[in-house]
Structure 1
Amino acid sequence: MHIYAFGSVCRGEIDQASDVDMLACIEGTETTVDATQFSIYTYDKLRDLWRIGNPFVWHLHLESKLVFSSDKKDFLAELGTPSKYTDIKSDLAKFSELFNSSTHALLSGPENAIFNLSCIFLAIRNAAMCYSIYVGAPEFSRYSALNIQPALPISPEIYKILVRARLLSSRGYGSLITKQEIASVVDVVEVIRVWLDHLEVCTNEK
């Protein structure tokens, strides 16, 4: 077994809203690892993801630290550099679909507004992260959409509302989001949609 930390704790960006992301690399028959505390992957699955250049393994390759090794080896380091990430077009299409469905639900009424805002954030953040890997400038932080080029052209204050929604939805942490804040996100929905479309155009040009 090999245990790794990854994410914000390895980037040095940990704060009160952060959790500590942990990966457990196991043989297929291992059953003692708590799935609520670890992302659990078999060695064979990780090798397969390495071969196709999956964004998650690029994250692990660039931002993980070995915590425990049962054989004193560093399994991920021995895998070397992942293959080139090539699924950008299909991934951006999926994130655009998630954004569109979540936006439609948000505009349809106040029910589940926090969840829908959280999904909007997830679509934006993941699109930015995948695009950054594709162009060779990986960016994995919560604020990836503001840090890449082309950056998402909304204010940091509105972006932070989406971050808060994600933390509330996934961890139950943070201050509640007001109707006025929801309305401010609704006001920039078309700006976000245009930006997502622009990322797809940029991938077609490369």
Structure 2
Amino acid sequence: MSGGELIAAYIFGSVGRGNQDHLSDLDVLAVVRNGQGRVSESELLSKVPNRFSNLKSSVSWYGANRIEQMFRNGELFAWHLFRETVPLFDPHGFLEKIGKPAAYTDSVSDVISFRKVLQGIPNEVSENRGNAIYEAGLIYVCIRNIAMAASWSLCNQPDFSRYSVFNLEGIPPCPLSLAEFEKTMFCRMAGQRGGVPPEGVDPNFVLGLHKRLAPWLEALQIKLEEVKRRG
């Protein structure tokens, strides 16, 4: 549905943090008026400064009411936006008027949700060995989101970076090597952007990662539950 009204647009993610690299997309949040659809993507991207024109754009479309709801609920993405956005188009100070999100209290439930997604990976790989690339990319999505959620409780400040899984404090290190983690990341990028996935990603690789991650994620969840009980 097109013909919408753009209320505000912001850069977020690694470019918003100012630590982008050769792997970075340009993450753009587009806030539109509810019930009127989107504006054209070309209209939105015309507001992007030329210095970012070499980056592939990834647009997240949200109605204004949903953004306001996320801030009221204290959702992790609201804190992501609160901490890291750079305005592209903001004639009425949309996010500034919303103010600070409520406290984020869902780290345990968010970790549980992503662990449930991970639990299905062995079965998916076993049923269709051709799913290995996709499932490896799904491992990346899940453990990155888990780490971002956990960073709220285990780090001095929330860590939304690509490598947040290696920055958690108070628990054993992530059992994946940096090279293994990046393979899962490149699998995800290949699925999203096209291109050739990394070599060596087969069902055995995926199942091996999954097996090593399971006890570490269990320990992580227990740690978060302890932190929550202590208040």
* TM-score when normalising by structure 2: 0.79
1:30 aligns with 2:48: no
1:178 aligns with 2:184: no
> Retained in 1: the 8 A contact 2:11–2:29?
yes
Higher mean displacement: 42-51 or 11-20: 11-20
Tell me, which stretches of 5 or more residues in structure 2 are unaligned? Answer: 1-6, 42-56
> Retained in 1: the 8 A contact 2:129–2:203?
no
Higher mean displacement: 188-197 or 55-64: 188-197
Cα 1:102–1:25, aligned 2, differ >3 Å: closer, same or farther? Answer: same
* Secondary structure, aligned partner of 2:61: strand
Identity, in percent, stands at 30
1:76-134 alpha-carbon deviations (Å, 9 max, x no partner): 12222211111222211111111111233235552111111111111111100111124
d(CA) in 2 for partners of 1:114, 1:77 = 41
1:166 aligns with 2:172: no
Higher mean displacement: 36-45 or 145-154: 36-45
d(CA) in 2 for partners of 1:75, 1:190 = 45
d(CA) in 1 for partners of 2:38, 2:124 = 39
1:193 aligns with 2:191: no
> Retained in 2: the 8 A contact 1:22–1:37?
yes
* Secondary structure, aligned partner of 2:10: strand
1:57 aligns with 2:57: no
1:82 aligns with 2:101: yes
d(CA) in 1 for partners of 2:37, 2:207 = 45
Pairwise CA distance, 1:32: 4.1
> Retained in 1: the 8 A contact 2:132–2:201?
no
* Secondary structure, aligned partner of 2:89: strand
d(CA) in 1 for partners of 2:83, 2:91 = 22
1:133 aligns with 2:133: no
Q: Let me know the Cα RMSD of the aligned residues.
A: 2.2
Higher mean displacement: 47-56 or 102-111: 102-111
1:99 aligns with 2:118: yes
Cα 1:109–1:27, aligned 2, differ >3 Å: closer, same or farther? Answer: closer
> Retained in 1: the 8 A contact 2:32–2:38?
no
> Retained in 2: the 8 A contact 1:86–1:134?
no
d(CA) in 1 for partners of 2:203, 2:23 = 21
Tell me, which stretches of 5 or more residues in structure 1 are unaligned? Answer: none
d(CA) in 2 for partners of 1:204, 1:94 = 14
Paired residue for 2:19? Answer: 13
Cα 1:184–1:19, aligned 2, differ >3 Å: closer, same or farther? Answer: same
